[in-house]
Amino acid sequence: MQTVLTDSPAEAAAFLNQGELVAFPTETVYGLGADCRNDAAVSTIFTAKGRPSDNPLIVHISDPSRASLVAGDISPSAQLLMQRFFPGPLTVVLKKNDTVSPLVSAGLPTIGIRCPAHHRAREFLRLCHHPVAAPSANISGRPSSTDWQTVSHDLAGKIRCILKGEQSSIGVESTIVDCTGSKPVLLRTGAISRLDLEDAAGCMIADATRMTDEQPKSPGQKYQHYAPQAEVILYEHDMPPAVIPLKAGCISLGDPLPGCSITCRCHSLEEYAHHLFRFFRRCDISGAKAVYCELPPASGIGSALRDRLQRAAGHR
């Protein structure tokens, strides 16, 4: 299959409306989209990515008003969160209606819904006939793609079209909140902090228990994610590792570890998030044997970074 590269949201949407897979930019990471009502198209997402079939997908909408196209009921807590953070880097989990392919929700009665803030993503989504089911546009388990070049590296020849855009401004996936129960539950951390969520919802946000053998209710709960080919080694700023192997990378907030030949020093948590997955890809290209990652403080987007780093390291 020849993969078409395009700057045109209209051309990309035409492919998707014909049942094809299309990668598209968002402010978090690039997504890999299919018509959420088309079983055959949705199934090819799992094939192209090598994604486990019990890992549900997020449905993307162009406008908050379109949530009712896929949700059977929008709870009061979801309405408050959507009013504050749609469009933006938030996914809310709601009861789904029967129009959505059961493959999208992995057979669950719930669906994750997001309205991205990215202008080209929203233009593309407006031109799609139906809401778009889309996980991150990468090989399952590998670092998410934050630019169209890495999407092409992973998926060229497996998908029909890549809608080009600039590098994703945030760089980590959306915050996910389950709004189907009596109180909201945080399923995945992201750029929106718990304090901001609680301020908007007017209540405490509970933590989900870590998934083991259970079916995940949202992406990012069960499987190892985000890992480069090299071993990921985490360290605290005041406890650097004693021995650095040859051909190692280091991403840090302070001075990089001496002896690392591939480095990325970040001056803020936001900069760390923006560069993380791209740095993992750079280490892969450079043949790094290990990637040392300074653990950021667990505040703001730092909580999301710690989650992604721990998953990349296999919770070591």
Integer Cα distance of 171 and 277 in angstroms: 7
Name beta bridge partners: 66.
Answer: none
Q: Which fold has domain 4-207?
A: DHBP synthase (3.90.870)
Collapsing DSSP to helix, strand or coil, 249 comes out as strand
H/E stretch holding 309: helix 302-312
Cis amide prior to 143 (ω within 30 degrees):
no
Q: Which fold has domain 231-312?
A: Rossmann fold (3.40.50)
> What's the average model confidence in pLDDT over 30-42?
98
Q: Is the model's pLDDT at 39 over the cut of 70?
A: yes
Sign of the CA dihedral 125, 128, 131, 135? Answer: negative
Range in 62-71, 110-119, 134-143, 242-251 the model is least confident about: 242-251
> What's the average model confidence in pLDDT over 126-141?
97
Q: Is the model's pLDDT at 156 over the cut of 90?
A: yes
For tokens 């497996």, name the residue. Answer: 158
Sign of the CA dihedral 252, 255, 258, 263? Answer: positive
**pLDDT value for 240:** 77
User: pLDDT digits over 177-202, tens only?
Assistant: 999 998 999 999 999 999 999 999 99
At 163, list the tokens: 């809608």
Give the E-state strand segments of the chain in sequence order. 4-6, 22-24, 31-35, 58-60, 71-73, 90-96, 110-114, 132-133, 161-163, 175-178, 185-188, 206-207, 231-235, 248-252, 262-265, 290-294
User: pLDDT digits over 231-281, tens only?
Assistant: 999 999 888 777 777 799 999 999 999 889 999 999 999 999 999 999 999
- Strands 58-60 and 132-133 come out as antiparallel
Range in 2-11, 147-156, 219-228, 240-249 the model is least confident about: 219-228
- Domain-wise residue ranges, the chain: 4-207, 231-312
173 touches 136 (CB < 8 A): yes
110 touches 78 (CB < 8 A): no
**Per-residue confidence band for 212, with pLDDT thresholds at 50, 70 and 90:** very low
30 burial (CB, 10 Å; 0-12 / 13-18 / 19+) is buried
> What's the average model confidence in pLDDT over 68-79?
94
Look over the chain and give the mean of its residue pLDDT values, rounded to a whole number: 93
Integer Cα distance of 166 and 175 in angstroms: 21
Angle of CA points 14, 61, 83, to nearest 5°: 155
